[in-house]
Amino acid sequence: MESLQTIKQRFGIIGNNNQLNIALEKTIRVAPTDISVLVTGESGVGKEVIPKIIHNLSHRKHAKYIAVNCGAIPEGTIDSELFGHEKGSFTGATQTRSGYFEVADGGTIFLDEVGELPLTTQVRLLRVLENGEFLKVGSSKVQKTDVRIVAATNVNMIEAIQKEKFREDLYYRLSTVEINIPPLRNRGDDIHLLFRKFASDFAQKYKMPTIRLEEKAIEALKGYPWKGNIRQLRNLTEQISVIEQNRSISYNTLMSYLPDYGANLPAIIKDKTKESEFKNEREILYKVLFDMRNDITDLKKPLKF
Ligand SMILES: Nc1ncnc2c1ncn2[C@@H]1O[C@H](COP(=O)(O)OP(=O)(O)OP(=O)(O)O)[C@@H](O)[C@H]1O
Ligand SMILES: [Mg+2]
């Protein structure tokens, strides 16, 4: 079995956060099986690499890997994309067409944003997951396929089930093993590590010296909520790398790129007055106090008998 470190190198994964390591170890262990996997986590946390690792560490690695963004395909064509259609089954179906489940026979299909699948498609998917059977759109001939499914979602599936937007039976079938990727805000030192990696990448790309953060800016970077996670951090690093002449980034400069630090300050307004510095410091203090309160609540828990 390949080690965690090798996998990280091979797939360009930066970071050593414990929750991330647990997710990757789970990925390595489940990969050689045919078990369905559901990858969960907020937008931009890095879910897309997981199905690639699974496929490449499985006996299916020489067969096809197809990634489908379920949210991007119109409802009217998704069944045909996934399962194919018969000639004449709908206006414009001039040829019989194979769908992804036929093409990927023996391989892996990654269903990204699986929560977006229409209910009718969910019925077809459940059938193919349960017994490998499917019908082309407009056909009554049952076909067989052997496909491993890895799905991903950034929506709360339990909520989607309660709202009757997602079938409960399909959810349980898809999530035999769930792999949760932690949000960036919980990854501690990895945040600065990722920043440095991106800073060095963009320095090469734009042929400029690498930006680096001053001590206070590093702390601020670690305390930011990162709602857009790694995607947001990378975009921020690119912006600063391109715009800032002084390659040593101060706390104030960084703050001018982090609009909603605590409060909802407008974006990209560079306010370097003393007052705004004070305001930002106060926000950090609030955050520290808030985190401390949470920690104290956690500490109290085991004391309740
Ligand atoms: N640990 C990491 N090290 C290096 N780059 C990473 C890491 N995690 C994510 N990335 C990069 O961050 C970007 C966002 O990741 P990805 O596209 O996988 O997000 P996602 O979880 O699929 O989000 P969404 O739900 O919005 O689709 C990608 O460019 C990815 O390469
Ligand atoms: Mg994605």
Asked whether the predicted pLDDT for residue 167 surpasses 90, the reply is yes
Which of these, 105, 110, 107, lies nearest to 133 by C-alpha position? Answer: 105
Instruction: Give the model's confidence band at 271: pLDDT under 50 very low, under 70 low, under 90 confident, else very high.
Output: very low
44 CA distance to ligand 2 middle (Å): 7
Q: pLDDT > 70: what percent of the chain?
A: 85
Say if domain 186-303 classifies as CATH 1.20.810.10: no
Q: Which two tokens stand for residue 186?
A: 């919980």
Which residues of the chain form CATH 3.40.50.300? Answer: 4-182
Which of these, 155, 151, 156, lies nearest to 170 by C-alpha position? Answer: 151
Residue whose CB lies within 8 A of the most ligand 1 atoms, among 21, 45, 112, for a mutation test:
45
Give helix then strand counts, H and E, for the chain. Answer: 13, 11
CATH code matching the domain that covers 4-182, chosen among 3.30.479.30, 3.90.950.10, 3.10.310.30, 3.40.50.300: 3.40.50.300
Asked whether the predicted pLDDT for residue 260 surpasses 90, the reply is no
Asked whether the predicted pLDDT for residue 274 surpasses 60, the reply is no
Element (H, E) at 161: helix 157-162
**More confident site: 206 or 91:** 206
Asked whether the predicted pLDDT for residue 214 surpasses 60, the reply is yes
Cβ count near 151 (within 10 Å):
28
Which residues of the chain form CATH 1.10.8.60? Answer: 186-303
Q: Whose alpha carbon is nearest atom 9 of ligand 1?
A: 46
Asked whether the predicted pLDDT for residue 144 surpasses 70, the reply is yes
Asked whether the predicted pLDDT for residue 290 surpasses 90, the reply is no
Which of these, 66, 68, 27, 69, lies nearest to 50 by C-alpha position? Answer: 27
Instruction: Give the model's confidence band at 2: pLDDT under 50 very low, under 70 low, under 90 confident, else very high.
Output: confident
Buried b (16+ CB within 10 A) or exposed e, 162-198: eeebbbeebbebbbebebebbbbeebeebbbebbbbb
Q: At what angle do helices 4-11 and 18-30 cross, to 10 degrees?
A: 90
Asked whether the predicted pLDDT for residue 304 surpasses 50, the reply is no
Average pLDDT, the chain: 90
Residue whose CB lies within 8 A of the most ligand 1 atoms, among 49, 50, 54, 226, for a mutation test:
49
Per DSSP, 186 falls in state G
Asked whether the predicted pLDDT for residue 205 surpasses 80, the reply is yes
Ligand 1 site: residues with CB under 6 angstroms? 12-15, 41, 43-49, 154, 230-231, 234
Tell me how far apart the alpha carbons of residues 153 and 165 are, in angstroms, rounded to a whole number: 14
Q: What is the DSSP string of 191-210?
A: HHHHHHHHHHHHHHHHTSPP
Residue 157 and residue 115 in contact, taking contact as beta carbons nearer than 8 Å: yes
| Residue 11 CA from chain centroid, whole number | 15
pTM: 0.84
Q: What is the pLDDT of residue 252?
A: 94
Average pLDDT over residues 39-61: 97
Q: What is the pLDDT of residue 81?
A: 96
Tell me how far apart the alpha carbons of residues 291 and 277 are, in angstroms, rounded to a whole number: 21
Residue 213 and residue 221 in contact, taking contact as beta carbons nearer than 8 Å: yes
Ligand nearest, relative to CA of residue 39: 1
Provide the residue count of the chain.
Answer: 305
48 CA distance to ligand 2 middle (Å): 5
Residue 123 and residue 162 in contact, taking contact as beta carbons nearer than 8 Å: no
Ligand nearest, relative to CA of residue 43: 1
Tell me how far apart the alpha carbons of residues 107 and 61 are, in angstroms, rounded to a whole number: 7
- pLDDT tens profile 121-143: 999 999 999 999 999 999 999 99
43 CA distance to ligand 2 middle (Å): 7
Element (H, E) at 297: helix 274-300
Average pLDDT over residues 1-13: 92
Asked whether the predicted pLDDT for residue 267 surpasses 80, the reply is no
272 CA distance to ligand 1 middle (Å): 32
Least confident of 86-95, 208-217, 231-240: 86-95
Least confident of 112-116, 156-160, 276-280: 276-280
226 CA distance to ligand 1 middle (Å): 13
